[in-house]
Amino acid sequence: MKVIIAEKPSVAREIAKVFGATTKKDGYMEGKGFTFTWAFGHLLQLAPPQEYGFYGWNVHNLPMLPAKFKLSIRKVKTKDGLVEDPGVRKQLNIIQALFDEATDIIVATDAGREGELIFRYIYYYLKCKKPFKRLWISSQTDEAIKEGFRNLKPGSDYDTLFNSAHCRSQSDWLVGMNATQALSISSGTRSVLSLGRVQTPTLAMICSRYLENKSFVPQLFYQVSIQVDKEGQVFRAVSTENFKSKEEAQVLIDQVEDVASGFPLGGHILAVEAKPRKEPPPLLHDLSSLQQEANKKNGFTADQTLNLLQNLYESKLVTYPRTGSRYIGDDVFAGIPALLEKFKDHETFGKQALFLTGVKLNKRSVNVKKVTDHHAVLPTGEKPYNLSADKQAIFDLVLGRTLEAFHQECIKEITKITVQSGAKYIASGTVISSAGWRAVFNEPDEEKKDEDNASLPKVKEGENLPVVDKALLEKQTKPKPLYNEASLLKALETAGKEIDDEELRYAMKDSGLGTPATRAAIIETLLKRDYILREKKNLVPTQTGLAVYEVVKDHKIAQAELTGNWEKRLEEIRSGASVTDFQEEIKTYTRSITQELLKAGAGLKLKPV
């Protein structure tokens, strides 16, 4: 019997379908001499400190450096505290029974570091010794699966990938567990002050932005605007220069040749520029972009959006949600016309879906090289029925974006008129001449500059027009805004882009901080720890959060560079570099951060609980 193990049930089902295996059993499927089983993500985790004899939270245990890490079954929170997840225990038993019977094991967990780890932890935990082969595919279409099976790799080809994954896991444990206990113990409060490679830089980003925003001193500046009349249609033009003082602006205003000052035709048109600008459709959604959009449009938190999307996925209405790719491959693209066809009777989007069935589709989101483990989120084509308002909203964002992504460019006329009246003034305006993809949601352009006129009258160079009004504009410079969930998710994705060290920057370029699957959970952790809170749509630090930030802000653990450094080393391990060298460095770092925090925590400015 050949046993195929996938990372999750949906993938096992897809593969079974390709093989024509349809018999459903408890925890697996079978047919044609094959058995298809699955995990539910990580079933096993590195065992907690007490399993190595580190009981309680005691300074004498620190730093905790287990000689050999153990694995333990994933836990769930219940009213009796943390207990083994019974569903996980059951699935492990099923996998064990299947592995015992197996002649061949084929590993079909996701093609990446964590996918490798998910399988290996199961394999080693079950003490399985049978050889295994690896299926390595990046898309789950029938053809990709078949091709992958013709091309199975020896399992040992991925030993170094497992090494890098295991190192990632152990390093996060060592640094996170020790730093958390060190700070919590030394703070003298009895609360949990957690720290980690991802959560602490995230907290630092929120805190530093908050402090920057609060200490920002707005600068006043002045501009002059004039109103110009073209045969009854009045438009506004603004001075090209900004002034620090009112007096300087007043000089300009006094020079305006307006009607009231005795100039019937004092607005001289120096130049008129009109150029079309093509705006390509947005890319399909990955999880993060969808969370950002849902936060902006519907006010949903990242966690809410993930849950709603997971729900739609379980109802088979959308494809795999925790994707980090905004692209699809050519194979999936081939199915798009049929997919669009299915929504041509849709209440809100039907008209646009119908339109797309008759035109050449935009292929901006089609790029197989940019599809990682999973492709962008798409509707499956199943019709939703009786969804809750929230789920419907998320489904509509997915469907709407799908229509947008394959739609035509939006074409805008951008007009710029330069007027001389004393000094130079500029009027700019944008008119959409062909909506293209913007017809889907038909919403106003997000950030229109406030100087913009919706549309400008037709004027010609050399014309002289009356200036009917003038005004002094008093404005203020603005601070960078506080983070909200949308901007924080974006910042986590792009974290590392500003690292000075080129190698570290490169190592982080595809990752950022955290992963699509974990970012919502990171935000929730910071909320649960009482480090941050939601204030309207913003995420702001609490007193506790700021106090922790003050203690750790100059340490590596608060910086995105730490992840960059790890990613660089982990990639080296994947291509064969020494595992023990890195592990020794991590131990050294663990010892030093633990010592530092044991001292620093005492200086924590916290009210006792």
Near DNA by CB under 7 A: residue from 18, 31, 57, 149: 57
CB-nearer residue toward DNA: 436 or 601 = 601
Long-range contacts, 237-244 (Cβ 8 Å, 24+): 237/417, 237/419, 237/425, 237/426, 237/427, 238/425, 238/426, 238/427, 238/451, 238/473, 239/423, 239/424, 239/425, 240/423, 240/424, 240/425, 240/426, 241/423, 242/475, 244/219, 244/220
Looking at beta carbons only, is 50 or 156 nearer to DNA? 50
Determine, following the binding rule CB under 7 A, whether residue 555 of this chain makes contact with DNA: no
Binding string, residues 302-341; x marks residues near DNA by CB under 7 A: --------x--xx-------x-------------------
- Closest to DNA by CB, 138 or 181: 181
Stretch that binds DNA, among 100-108, 175-183, 468-476, 568-576 (CB under 7 A): 175-183
114 scored as a contact of DNA (CB under 7 A): yes
Assess 181 for contact with DNA (CB under 7 A): yes
Residue 320: active-site member: yes
Residue from 3, 5, 7, 288 in contact with DNA (CB under 7 A): 7
List of residues 6+ apart from 408 with CB closer than 8 A = 281, 359, 362, 434, 436, 437
Give 486: exposed, middle or buried? Use CB within 10 Å, 0-12, 13-18, 19+.
Answer: buried
Is residue 479 part of the contact set for DNA (CB under 7 A)?
no
Cα separations in angstroms, 295 against 69, 411, 482: 40, 27, 15
Among 148, 379, 496, 514, binds DNA (CB under 7 A): 514
**Residue 174: φ, ψ to 5°:** -60, -50
The answer to the question of residue 472 lying near DNA (CB under 7 A) is: no
Say which DSSP state 447 is in.
T
How far, in Å, CA of 583 to CA of 167, rounded?
A: 7
525 binds DNA (CB under 7 A): yes
What is the closest distance, in whole angstroms, from the C-beta atom of residue 162 to DNA in the complex? 14
Q: Which residue, 196, 209, 223, is CA-closest to 449?
A: 223
Q: Does 45 bind DNA (CB under 7 A)?
A: yes
- Exposed e or buried b for every residue in 14-24, given b needs 16+ CB within 10 A? bbbebbebeee
Give yes or no for residue 240 binding DNA (CB under 7 A): no
86 binds DNA (CB under 7 A): no
Say whether 334 sits in a helix, a strand or coil: coil
**Choosing from 121, 222, 320, 589, which is the catalytic residue?**
320
Task: Give the binding-site size for DNA (rule: CB under 7 A).
Answer: 54
Beta-sheet pairing, 2-6 with 34-38? parallel
Question: Is residue 489 a contact partner of residue 519, using CB atoms and an 8 Å limit?
Answer: yes
521 lies in the site for DNA, by CB under 7 A = yes
Task: Return the residue of 27, 63, 148, 196 that touches DNA, per CB under 7 A.
Answer: 196
444 binds DNA (CB under 7 A): no
Question: How far apart are the C-alpha atoms of 42 and 333, rounded to whole Å?
Answer: 31
Decide: is 180 part of the binding site for DNA (CB under 7 A). Answer: yes
Asked if 438 and 432 touch (Cβ cutoff 8 Å), the reply is: yes
Q: Closer CB to DNA, residue 403 or residue 547?
A: 547
Catalytic residues: 320
Can you give the binding site for DNA, defined by CB under 7 A? 7-10, 40-43, 45-46, 48-50, 54, 56-57, 74, 81-82, 87, 110, 114, 118, 168-169, 172-173, 176-177, 180-181, 184, 190-192, 194-200, 310, 313-314, 322, 514-518, 521-522, 525
